[in-house]
């Protein structure tokens, strides 16, 4: 979600993995002029949340976003504004299946790009209007596809499915316990799903909606069904946009990242803080050399957390604080929501006095005032710690 940090040991032993995100829908059921994937949620297009959820996963090498021809420039501007990485935009077809096929072709044909991307062993297909996808379920469907050739997330049916007769009366109903709702994400060995699309009839391409069915019909591949979580739902109606906004707001206040220096005393404070907070909010803690791991910190700041507590043992750490803020600005996450950065400076020396000059206090205050204009809220704590 916009959304949380995932398990790092869920990485599938498959290289490479790519993702195709069909985003060419017209949004008729939403009831507005703007296609739902481009509707703003908390000031940001819905498709951007989904792309961010995928791109934060390092083992996904390429992200193909398939949009209708008239929205290609819109999608390009979104990628540029939110600094999305590893993204290629592809022109979609007139139906969902034709759009997905176009997305797959960038790995096998030169029709939609000047050069071929590296063909993945496994390709993920995920709707651009399902923004709350987590690494855990993506990893599960990828590993299942590696073993079975195809896999897809499923959920229990909420309502009973019935069939009507020609006269509009009830014909029969399905036993709900036997059936499941097919959800996204789905994953396939690339060669299987590409071959399935190559063999598709025009009827399949124009009226079909289920990728797992194509793999079964044309490649005799029985997909492994993976139980999904409740947050895999698809934004379809206008009320879903309000629900998505509510979830995003809630997640912003329910997650914090604690970053400490590697020194023993500082790391211990970080551990104690983590233990005290973990029962109340989603919290992750990491001990890292703040001066030597720029790339690791940049990955953290480019994720989907907006609250950070940074702990070190320096009384006058303006330069180090500026470095952290520079990385936050580079990540562009403050373009959307306020970022809260709490700087905790510990005095762990035997000297019990802890003072800081007025000149230094003035510098800190000025620094925080300037950063507030950039939507980064800085708070400082000076703590005597023994």
Question: What is the per-residue pLDDT for 2?
Answer: 43
Question: What is the per-residue pLDDT for 293?
Answer: 57
What is the tens place of the pLDDT at every residue in 120-162? Answer: 999 999 999 999 999 999 999 999 999 999 999 999 998 899 9
Name the band, by pLDDT with cuts 50, 70 and 90, for residue 266.
confident
Name the band, by pLDDT with cuts 50, 70 and 90, for residue 247.
confident
Question: How large is the average pLDDT for residues 242-254?
Answer: 82
| Residue of higher predicted confidence among 363 and 310 | 310
Q: Which of 149, 142, 146, 104 shows the shortest CA–CA distance to 124?
A: 142
In the chain, what's the furthest Cα-to-Cα distance? 89
Question: 253: which residues sit within 8 A by CB, 6+ positions away?
Answer: 281, 307
Question: What is the per-residue pLDDT for 6?
Answer: 44
What is the tens place of the pLDDT at every residue in 194-217? Answer: 999 999 999 999 999 899 999 999
Beta strand pairing call for 60-67 and 162-164? unpaired
User: Could you give the CA distance from residue 5 to residue 12 in angstroms, rounded to a whole number?
Assistant: 17
Q: Is the predicted pLDDT of residue 113 greater than 90, yes or no?
A: no
What is the tens place of the pLDDT at every residue in 160-192? Answer: 999 999 999 999 999 888 899 999 999 999 999
Name the band, by pLDDT with cuts 50, 70 and 90, for residue 349.
low
* CB neighbour class for 128 (10 Å; exposed up to 12, middle 13-18, buried from 19): buried
Task: Output DSSP code: residue 109.
Answer: -
User: Could you give the CA distance from residue 354 to residue 367 in angstroms, rounded to a whole number?
Assistant: 21
- Bridge partners, 287 (sequence order): 260
Q: Is the predicted pLDDT of residue 356 greater than 60, yes or no?
A: no
- Bridge partners, 87 (sequence order): 63
Q: Sign of torsion, CA 323 329 332 337?
A: positive
Backbone φ and ψ of 32, nearest 5°: -130, 175
- Rounded to a whole number of angstroms, the distance between the first and last alpha carbons of the chain is 38
**Which range, of 33-37, 213-217, 249-253, averages the lowest pLDDT?**
249-253
Output the average pLDDT for the chain: 85
Alpha helices in 106-201 (DSSP H): 135-148, 190-199
User: Could you give the CA distance from residue 87 to residue 70 in angstroms, rounded to a whole number?
Assistant: 18
What is the tens place of the pLDDT at every residue in 282-319? Answer: 888 888 776 665 667 776 776 668 899 988 876 556 77
Name the band, by pLDDT with cuts 50, 70 and 90, for residue 326.
confident
Q: Is the predicted pLDDT of residue 4 greater than 50, yes or no?
A: no
In the chain, the domains with their CATH numbers are: 17-236 (3.90.550.10), 254-384 (3.40.50.720)
């Amino acid at each position: 979600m916009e959304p949380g940090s995932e398990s790092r040991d869920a990485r599938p032993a498959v290289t490479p993995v790519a993702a195709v995100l069909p985003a060419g829908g017209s949004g008729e059921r939403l009831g507005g002029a703007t296609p739902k994937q481009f509707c703003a949620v908390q000031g940001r297009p819905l498709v951007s949340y989904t792309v961010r959820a995928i791109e934060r996963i390092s083992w996904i090498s390429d992200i193909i976003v398939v949009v209708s021809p008239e929205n290609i420039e819109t999608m390009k501007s979104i990628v540029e504004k939110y600094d999305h990485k590893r993204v290629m935009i592809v022109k979609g077809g007139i139906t969902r299946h034709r759009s997905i096929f176009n997305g797959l072709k960038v790995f096998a044909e030169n029709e939609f790009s000047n050069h071929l991307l590296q063909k993945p062993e496994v390709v993920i297909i995920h709707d651009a209007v399902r923004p709350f996808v987590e690494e855990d379920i993506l990893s599960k469907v990828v590993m299942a596809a590696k073993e079975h050739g195809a896999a897809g997330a499923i959920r229990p049916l909420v309502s009973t499915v019935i069939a009507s007769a020609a006269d509009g009366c009830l014909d029969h109903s399905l036993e709900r316990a036997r059936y499941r709702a097919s959800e996204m994400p789905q994953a396939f060995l690339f060669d299987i799903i590409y071959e399935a699309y190559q063999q598709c009839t025009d009827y399949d391409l124009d009226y079909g909606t289920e990728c797992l069915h194509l793999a079964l019909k044309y490649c005799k591949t029985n997909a492994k069904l993976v139980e999904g979580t409740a947050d895999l739902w698809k934004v379809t109606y206008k009320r879903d946009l309000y629900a998505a906004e509510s979830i995003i707001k809630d997640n912003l206040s329910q997650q914090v990242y604690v970053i400490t220096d590697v020194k023993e005393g500082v790391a211990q404070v970080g551990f104690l803080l983590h233990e005290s907070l973990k029962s109340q909010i989603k919290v992750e803690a990491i001990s890292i050399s703040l001066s030597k791991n720029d790339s690791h910190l940049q990955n953290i700041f480019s994720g989907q957390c907006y609250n950070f507590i940074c702990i070190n043992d320096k009384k006058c750490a303006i330069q180090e604080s500026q470095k952290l803020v520079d990385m936050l600005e580079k990540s562009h996450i403050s373009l959307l929501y306020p970022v809260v950065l709490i700087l905790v400076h510990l005095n762990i020396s035997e000297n019990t006095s802890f003072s800081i000059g007025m000149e230094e206090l003035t510098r800190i205050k000025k620094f925080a005032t300037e950063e507030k204009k950039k939507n980064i809220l800085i708070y400082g704590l000076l703590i005597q710690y023994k």
